[in-house]
Structure formats: C-alpha cells, structure tokens
Amino acid sequence: YDSEGGDLTSAGRLEGKLREKTLTLDTLNPQVKAVEYAVRGPIVIKAGEIERYLEEGGTKPFSEVIKANIGDAHAMGQQPITFLRQVVALCTFPELMDSPSFPEDAKWRARRILQGCGGHSLGSYSASPGVECIRKDIAAYIEQRDEGVPSDWENIYLTTGASDGIMTILRLLVSGKDSSRTGVMIPIPQYPLYSAAISEMDAVQVNYYLDEDNCWALDINELYRAYQAAKLHCQPRVICIINPGNPTGQVQSKKCIEEVLHFAYEENLFVMSDEVYQDNVYTPDCQFHSFKKVLYEMGPEYFNSVELASFHSTSKGYTGECGFRGGYMEVINMDPEVKAQMVKLLSVRLCPPLAGQAAMDVIVNPPQPDEHSYKQFRQEKSSVLGALADKAKLTEQILNAVPGIKCNPVQGAMYAFPRIFIPPKAVEEAKALGMQPDMFYCLRLLEETGICVVPGSGFGQKDGTYHFRMTILPSIEKLKVLLGKVRDFHIRFLKEYSALE
Amino acid sequence: YDSEGGDLTSAGRLEGKLREKTLTLDTLNPQVKAVEYAVRGPIVIKAGEIERYLEEGGTKPFSEVIKANIGDAHAMGQQPITFLRQVVALCTFPELMDSPSFPEDAKWRARRILQGCGGHSLGSYSASPGVECIRKDIAAYIEQRDEGVPSDWENIYLTTGASDGIMTILRLLVSGKDSSRTGVMIPIPQYPLYSAAISEMDAVQVNYYLDEDNCWALDINELYRAYQAAKLHCQPRVICIINPGNPTGQVQSKKCIEEVLHFAYEENLFVMSDEVYQDNVYTPDCQFHSFKKVLYEMGPEYFNSVELASFHSTSKGYTGECGFRGGYMEVINMDPEVKAQMVKLLSVRLCPPLAGQAAMDVIVNPPQPDEHSYKQFRQEKSSVLGALADKAKLTEQILNAVPGIKCNPVQGAMYAFPRIFIPPKAVEEAKALGMQPDMFYCLRLLEETGICVVPGSGFGQKDGTYHFRMTILPSIEKLKVLLGKVRDFHIRFLKEYSALE
C-alpha cells in the first residue's frame, strides 16, 4: 500500500487512516504458502530474468538460456505429430472437411469426435467425465495395451492434463477437517506435483525412498518401513507410484509392481499409478507393465478389490502436446457412491478442454496400417522415440564420464537425475547463504553456462546426497553441447572448492 | 465389494477376510460430500437417463430432451465465430498459413500468438500466467473498454475458464486450518460454482439477498445487514458480485457498483467481480460498467487500495466457446508477495490450455474496420447478440403472460429466472417426497415435456419462494415451442394441485 499510495492526498489519507490490505503474506492461506514446486521454482524465475536481460542487450558468458528444467518437448524443438494436429484442426474448423489437403482418415476421426460434441462443436461443454466416444476409444486402447484385460469406458475420465486427475483423486481422499491424519505415500525422489498437492490439502507426506544404488528400484521392505513409521502419527490411505519414474527414469519390473499391489491390498491402500511416461521406455531390457494388467494377473481377489486410479496425458509420450492439457484417468473398484461424488466434484469445473480431449483421442486411436496416414505417422513416432532413446543413452554416458557425477541409466521418461558430488566447502558456502547445496550448484551452473536444471532438493533425496534433474529433450546436437558445458562447469566447480579445503 | 467379489474363491475370501474399500461415503472427504452443483445436478442426470431411454427406442410424451439447464451456446445450435476458429485452426496446424482460403488478418494473429509460444507451438506449456503477448492484448482491450483506465499486463492471468480463476483467488483467501472462520459474501440467487467452492474449501457462506421486487438489484443496506450478521460468527473477507447477474440477468447500475466498492473499501474486503457476461447486455437502458472503471472514477484512494479481481471467459459473450476453457482474470492492488505466492500456486497446474488462450486473444483483439474479416465478423457478432436480445425479451413476455409465473426483465447474461407459484398441495407432496418443491416442479416439467431447467433452490432463493433457471439460448423457433410447453405445463400443474385444495 505504501508504495502505491505514496501520492495520495485523499481525505482518508489525510486523516492518517491507512487502509490495510485484506490479503497479505500474514493472512494468506498458510497451505498455499507451504506449497513448493521446484520445476517452475526460484531457479526458473532466475532463468527468465537472465533471458530478459540477454534480450535487452545484456551480456553473459553465453548467448542463450537452455531450459532443461521441464518436460516441454515442443519448446525444445520437437515437431508435432502431423496426424494429431490435422484431426484437431479439422475439429476446430470443420470447413476444412472439404479441403483435399487433409487425408480421409483424419477427417473421419474428426467427424466422429464432433458427432460426440453438443451441436457438433468443439465449443460446447462436454459431459464432465469427457466425450463419450473418446472415453470408449480410451477403454479400447487400454484393453489392447493390456492384452485383453477388460476396461469399462464408464471408468474413464478425461482430465485437464494428468495433474488435474491426480488432484481430483487426492481431494476425495484427503479431508480438510482431519486432514492432518491422512497419509499419502510418495516416492522420494518424486515429481513435486505430489508434494505440492499434499501441502495444499494439508495431508501428511509419507516418504518411501527409491534405491539409487539399484537403479532407483522400489524396494518393498522400504515401503513397509515407511508405512509402519507413518502409522505412528497418521493414517496412510493412498500410495502413489510414478512408473516410468519422474525424475528418476527407472522402469518398474513386473515383480516389483506385484509386490506394491500386494502391499496395497494387505494394508487397504488406494493406489494411484502415474503412468504418463508409458510410451517412453528406451532400454531394450525394460518393458512397461501397467499396474492394472499386473493386478489382473494377480487374480480376481486382487483385481476385484484394489482401488486403483491410473493416469495418462497428451503431454508426454511421442506427442509432447503439453499445451493441449489433455489427459485421462482410469479408476477401478471405486465405490459407486464415491464415483457419483467424484462426478459431482468434476462437474463444478464443467469439463476438460475439448481440444485436449480430441488430442487424447488421436493418441489412443492412431492411424492403422491400412490407413493413408499410417506411414507418415509411424515414421514421425519412431523418429521421436528413437531420438529420445539415443539421447537417454548419450546423457547417461557423458555424465558418467565426469568425475563426481554418477547417473543411473535413463530407462524411461524424459529426465536424467544424476547424483553430484558437492565439495564440503561449497556445501558450507551454500548453507551460509541459507541455500540448499544443490540449489547453490544449479544457480552457479545457470549463471555461468545459461543451462537451467532443477536441484534434486526440489524432488526430495536422501540427506547428504545431491542431484539435479535435467530433461533429455534438446536436439542431439544441442544436448551434446549442453552436456559438455555441464561437464566443464562441474570440473571447474570441483576444482574451485577442492582448492579451498 | 460384495457385488464384485461374489464369485471369489480365493484364500482371503475363504478365510472370511472381507477386504474393505479404502474410500467409501463414510471415509470420503466430507467437504466433497457437502458440495452441490445444481447446473449439472440430479435433474440433469435424470435428463441424460431420459435421453438414453429415447435413443434406445423408449417412448415419452415428447421426442427430445431440450437442455435449457446450462449456458452452452453451441450445444443449442449457435454457430462459432468464423474468425476465431480460423485463428485457432491456423495456430493448431501452421501448414494452413500457406492456404489461400485463410485471410491474412487471421494469419498474422496466429503467427503472433505462435511467436509467443515455446518452439512456436501450441503444444508447449506457456508461462503459468499465460502467453505474454496475449496478456498484453488483454490489458490493451481492458484499457479500451474502460475508456483509458490503465491496465498493467502483469496483472493479467489467463485461466482455464473463469471458474478456475475464481477458485484460485478463493484458495488464497480461505485457509484450511481456520477456514470455518473465513466468510465469503455471495449474492442469493448465485451461480453455484461459488457455493460449491465454499463447501469444498470449508469456508462460511455469507448470503446477501438480491431484491427480486426491484429487478434483482443489489441493495446496499442488505449488504450491511448480511455483513453485520456474519461478523458474529466469522470473519467476512471477500465479496463476490456477478454482473450481469447469473442466474438473475440484472445489470448493475453505476451507483450500485460505487456503493459496493465503498462498502468493500470501508470493511476491508477483497472484491471478486464475475464479469463473464460483460458482452451480454440486451436492454437499451442498461449498460455494463466494469468494477475496475467505477473504482477508478471513485478516485485514487479507492483505485490504489481496493483489492479487486475481475473474471472473464471465452464461454459466454457472442462467442460461446465453452469447450475451449479459456478465460482470464485481472487482479489489482494485490500485495506483491501474495502475487508471487499465487503464481507459485498456478505453476503447480502448469498452464491454462493454449487453444483457450488463443481463443481469448481473438476475443480481445477482433478484426478492425480496415481488415478483411471485419465485415463477416461484425455480421456474425451482431447476429448472435441481436438474437439473444430478441430471445431475452420474448422469454420475459411469454413467461409473464402465464398466471402464477413472474419474470423480471432479462437485462443481460443468458438466463431467465422466473418466480413460480407452487400450490400448497404440491409443496406438501414434494416435502413428503423429501424434495424441494421447485425440484419437484422441475422434475415434473422434465418428465412431461422433456424440458430440462434447474430449480431455484440450486441457486438459492428467499424462503418460501420458488424459481427455476432456464437459458435463453435455443433458437427463436425452438424457444417459442419450449416456452409454450412451459406455459401449458404450468397451467396444468396449477389446475391439478389447486383442485386438491
């Protein structure tokens, strides 16, 4: 108020009556204050400042900021899948149905989607769980993916990106009134949407640690340890799994998934499986297994009882369509009365964006071998996934050649999460600045090279260990340059602070 | 569980160990249970059931269900604005930039939007507050709308429809911990997003009643009454206004807005002005005044101090693009530290859908008189708004000619909210069924005519009065049929129940 009201000469001001703001840091919802989201946190704000500084003619030891902080494929130059965009453009502007430059297989998909929309327009609200024919396409896709495991389209809910679905399910489980008692089990390291949602809803975060020495595998004994420890001060009701892992890039084995599901069955936990990277598996000895399929194979006493929500998105995979905010969740074994309550909750926000729903439909219903667009689609898809596999390998190799950096294989997803050695003197200096040592490291990296990565502390890590998350999304040429700069920086950094010992 | 586990013969089942569901109505977050959202509530679910019944060959006294429950223009046959869809299609599939069938004025807008997107793609995340050039266009639009009142683009936040913005601001104000003490003043009748959000966040709903006898005007004395009464049991911190009114259709006078703002200034309230119907004003003696402009004209002691968020949307106006989930809010006088916290909160959900942001850009930056697309744009826009004005008038006239129905003028927005007389015997019968009398009425209307409207009880109303909300969106021919059916039904209903007296 002071700065804005400095030149006031009004009656109120003359009377010395300073109107206070209603909403200040003191009166702000404390749960909002508690939220942290490193992927767009302080380091990214700093990167934006440097970008503007460069644009305005400022100079730095580099000419551009490379944002390797977020899984934003198109921003890194990945091209959209032509067929997907054709279908969405046709839905948006149906006069294009008459254009000979759009293929028939795209047109019939667009027509079908529009027939499912009110007034045959992408401008209508859909039903809150999404357009019916898209829900049916998703169910058919899941059945095919899971080699015949049944999927009921009425269990499918379109969402505004996967984040929205994850928040919705957590909202059902976490009560404001006794929320300090609801435990939500999450992996550490985790994608910070989870910790942010837990803070916002005032639930209890229950950490289970992934095993860095074992390729970030999930160890069932650690799950039991975390659960038992948590039970002393809260009621753990839900376990979240991210597979393939974000930020850790591991792909879970079938055996491990079985163990998690058995644990959830025994301890009566709701299972949330974040499977948005299901198409991003790179190492030949790894395979994506959906939690649902594994649950099915465990037999009906499991498949008919464990409450499971799994999440998917248009933002990842080979499409990388983040801006469309498309996604879905499949929810099985949910109590029908709870389901009705969930639909009511979804209906308050009306519906997910229709363009995102259409994009999701193309992903689950891509061109088939006998269709005109198949060849180009297959070529574009394998080109994206092939390049990602190459970049995953390259990143691991280059990072592991740097003394003081150790990187697990990037089996899947879009990130490397290397462990970095930070010399004690640098740790000291960071702490003197009131900063996490890896934040200090990443800020230095940004200032000196223009490379923006996210400190491991934003995802969680074992005490005394330090990491950063970087995406493998830049083009292979750019990625090589980036990794070279990281290497040179790291060596310089080690030298500088080891000399101080 | 029982129904699903009926055929289990597993060890667990044989041992008699019945695994309970984690999430049941008993363990569900009670705040979710408390949420009500009539616009997509029980009556709409019933309408969907009847629709399916008809599709499957069932017979009713009517051949189709007319959904007049929700402001979903395209679903009611309204055609999209060509220019808007051209721009969004160009953004979606930039190869169309080479197509001669798209006008240059649409192409340069699309190019400009794409230049603001990462990798020049609608598939990238935007910054969490939205694409910078779109925020700038919105600020320029507001300045023009408000005849020169300054608007800072950094105060503009793109949202996923207006609902998302409203929830975000409320989330800042309502703390989970002491939320039972935060009062949120809302008009009665209100749009039930507000009451739903208040329930979900466990705040205190503070009702101020609009004056039905005075065209649903807001009476400042009633505001003071509501405030004083609320202060006895909570701390009112925010006042919500819907102008033009939903469901009530009134357009607030400048004097009334001044009074509200003075009241907010005096009592230190945050002001949320829901102005999504700002382009929907039909009666010549009414004019839309933005809260911000009125605040400005009250002088700097007000303009530099009252915290105000105003909301707009792509879903209403003359575009009716609900499915795009576009919208924005302008937030003035917010404490800079709080603003930083809000951006952090927004960043967890990454960004609003890019197609919706693009659609919003077209609305604030439409074709100008010297541009190729202007003529068609102006014609389409005035055709939609002209028809809405005709339908507003027609609805009021036909309803007021029915004995036992009294409808205030539909000055703006998209709804009529007539008061209906329900005979005591019908009230009795409804209560015996455990139903609100106007719900009973609306269900009968639906069952007998196929017309789906929303009971007044879903919006709030003075005790002992009954209403329903219907949209004026059907085509004029359909609307006439619809209103005729409502009239005939109402007369039949009165006769039936008056005969029982």
Closest residue of chain B to A85, computed from CA coordinates? B93
Provide, as residue numbers in chain B, all residues whose Cβ is less than 8 Å from the Cβ of A325. Answer: 160, 325, 350-354
Compute the residue count for chain B. Answer: 501
Listed by number, the residues of chain B in 228-287 with a beta carbon closer than 8 Å to a beta carbon of chain A are 237-238, 265, 268-270
Could you give the count of Cα atoms lying within 13 Å of B312 in the half-sphere of its Cβ?
A: 30
Listed by number, the residues of chain A in 314-373 with a beta carbon closer than 8 Å to a beta carbon of chain B are 319-325, 333-335, 337-338, 341-342, 344-345, 347-356
A341/B33 CB distance under 8 A: yes
B31/A175 CB distance under 8 A: yes
End-to-end CA distance of chain B: 49
* Positions in chain B whose pLDDT score sits under 70: 1-18, 176-180, 500-501
CB A147: neighbour CB atoms within 10 A? 9
Distance of residue B486 Cα from the nearest chain A Cα, in angstroms: 23
B471 to chain A, any CB pair closer than 8 A? The answer is no
A11 to chain B, any CB pair closer than 8 A? The answer is yes
Distance of residue B363 Cα from the nearest chain A Cα, in angstroms: 14
Provide, as residue numbers in chain B, all residues whose Cβ is less than 8 Å from the Cβ of A81. Answer: none
Mutate to test the interface with B, among A301, A308, A333, A343 (most CBs of B within 10 A): A301
Decide if pLDDT at A321 tops 50. yes
Quick one: DSSP state of residue A371?
Answer: S
C-beta of residue B417 within 8 angstroms of C-beta of residue B248: yes
Sign of CA dihedral B401, B403, B407, B409: positive
Return phi, psi of residue A289, to 5°.
-115, 125
Tell me the CA distances in angstroms from B414 to A60, B378, B390, B477, one per residue in order. Answer: 55, 20, 12, 17
Query: Which tokens in the block code for residue A256?
Result: 């491990």
pLDDT for the residue numbered A5: 39
Listed by number, the residues of chain B in 93-152 with a beta carbon closer than 8 Å to a beta carbon of chain A are 93, 96, 99, 101, 117-119, 121-128
B355/A324 CB distance under 8 A: yes
Type of residue found at B429 = E
Which residue spans within A204-345 are E strands per DSSP?
Answer: 204-209, 235-242, 270-274, 308-313, 326-332
Type of residue found at B144 = Q
pLDDT for the residue numbered B500: 66
pLDDT band at residue A18 using 50, 70 and 90 as cut-offs: low
Between helix A42-55 and helix A437-449 the angle, nearest 10°, is: 10
Q: Residue A352: which residues within 8 A CB-CB, separation 6 or more? A: A126, A130, A158, A159, A160, A164, A325, A326, A327, B325
Which residue spans within A97-188 are E strands per DSSP?
Answer: 156-160, 182-188
B125-364 has the same fold as B33-77+376-498: no
Distance of residue B269 Cα from the nearest chain A Cα, in angstroms: 6
| Residue A297 CB burial class (10 angstroms; 0-12, 13-18, ≥19) | middle
The model's pLDDT over A403-439, given as tens digits with 9 standing for 90+, comes to 999 999 999 999 999 999 999 999 999 999 999 999 9
- Rg for chain A, CA atoms, rounded: 24
| Residue where the block lists tokens 């905010």 | A325
pLDDT for the residue numbered B104: 97
Q: Which of these ranges, A11-15, A496-500, B174-178, has the smallest mean pLDDT? A: A11-15
C-beta of residue B316 within 8 angstroms of C-beta of residue B280: yes
Query: Coil, helix or strand for A274?
Result: strand
Integer Cα distance of B249 and B418 in angstroms: 11
Distance of residue B357 Cα from the nearest chain A Cα, in angstroms: 10
B196 to chain A, any CB pair closer than 8 A? The answer is yes
pLDDT for the residue numbered B158: 98
The model's pLDDT over A198-253, given as tens digits with 9 standing for 90+, comes to 998 889 999 999 999 999 999 999 999 999 999 999 999 999 999 999 999 999 99
C-beta of residue A316 within 8 angstroms of C-beta of residue A284: no
Provide, as residue numbers in chain B, all residues whose Cβ is less than 8 Å from the Cβ of A31. Answer: 175-177
Which residue spans within A243-390 are E strands per DSSP?
Answer: 270-274, 308-313, 326-332
Query: Which tokens in the block code for residue B294?
Result: 């009125």
Closest residue of chain B to A167, computed from CA coordinates? B349
Between helix B161-173 and helix B336-348 the angle, nearest 10°, is: 130
Q: State the alpha helices, DSSP H only, in B212-328.
A: 220-231, 254-267, 291-297, 300-303
B123/A80 CB distance under 8 A: yes
B40/A324 CB distance under 8 A: no
Largest CA distance in chain A: 81
In chain B, domain spans: 33-77+376-498, 125-364
pLDDT for the residue numbered A36: 82
Decide if pLDDT at A468 tops 80. yes
- DSSP letters of B104-142? HHHHHHHHHHHHTSGGG-TTSPPPTT--HHHHHHHHHHH
Nearest CB to B32; choose among A1, A117, A345: A345
What fold, for A125-364? Aspartate Aminotransferase; domain 2 (3.40.640)
Average pLDDT over residues A488-495: 94
Quick one: DSSP state of residue B207?
Answer: E
Nearest CB to A337; choose among B25, B238, B345: B25
B125/A197 CB distance under 8 A: no
The model's pLDDT over B94-105, given as tens digits with 9 standing for 90+, comes to 999 999 999 999
For strand B419-420 and strand B405-406, is the pairing parallel, antiparallel, or unpaired?
Answer: antiparallel
CB A145: neighbour CB atoms within 10 A? 17
Integer Cα distance of B187 and B205 in angstroms: 10
| Residue A11 CB burial class (10 angstroms; 0-12, 13-18, ≥19) | exposed
Residue contacts between A and B (CB atoms, under 8 Å): 352
A376 to chain B, any CB pair closer than 8 A? The answer is no
Listed by number, the residues of chain B in 40-79 with a beta carbon closer than 8 Å to a beta carbon of chain A are 40-41, 48, 70, 72-78
Provide, as residue numbers in chain B, all residues whose Cβ is less than 8 Å from the Cβ of A122. Answer: 323-324
A33 to chain B, any CB pair closer than 8 A? The answer is yes
Integer Cα distance of A291 and A425 in angstroms: 45
pLDDT for the residue numbered B364: 97
Provide, as residue numbers in chain B, all residues whose Cβ is less than 8 Å from the Cβ of A16. Answer: none
Decide if pLDDT at A1 tops 50. no
What is the architecture of the domain spanning A33-77+376-498?
A: Alpha-Beta Complex (3.90)
Higher pLDDT, A333 or B500: A333
Provide, as residue numbers in chain B, all residues whose Cβ is less than 8 Å from the Cβ of A75. Answer: 118-119, 121, 124-125
Distance of residue A86 Cα from the nearest chain B Cα, in angstroms: 7
Return phi, psi of residue B374, to 5°.
-60, -45
Distance of residue B217 Cα from the nearest chain A Cα, in angstroms: 26
Strand order in the sheet with B270-274: B156-160, B326-332, B308-313, B270-274, B235-242, B182-188, B204-209
Nearest CB to A86; choose among B10, B85, B93: B93
Provide, as residue numbers in chain A, all residues whose Cβ is less than 8 Å from the Cβ of B13. Answer: 301
Average pLDDT over residues A281-290: 95
A101/B101 CB distance under 8 A: no
Nearest CB to A13; choose among B70, B301, B319: B301
Mutate to test the interface with A, among B335, B362, B384, B478 (most CBs of A within 10 A): B335
Integer Cα distance of A163 and A159 in angstroms: 8
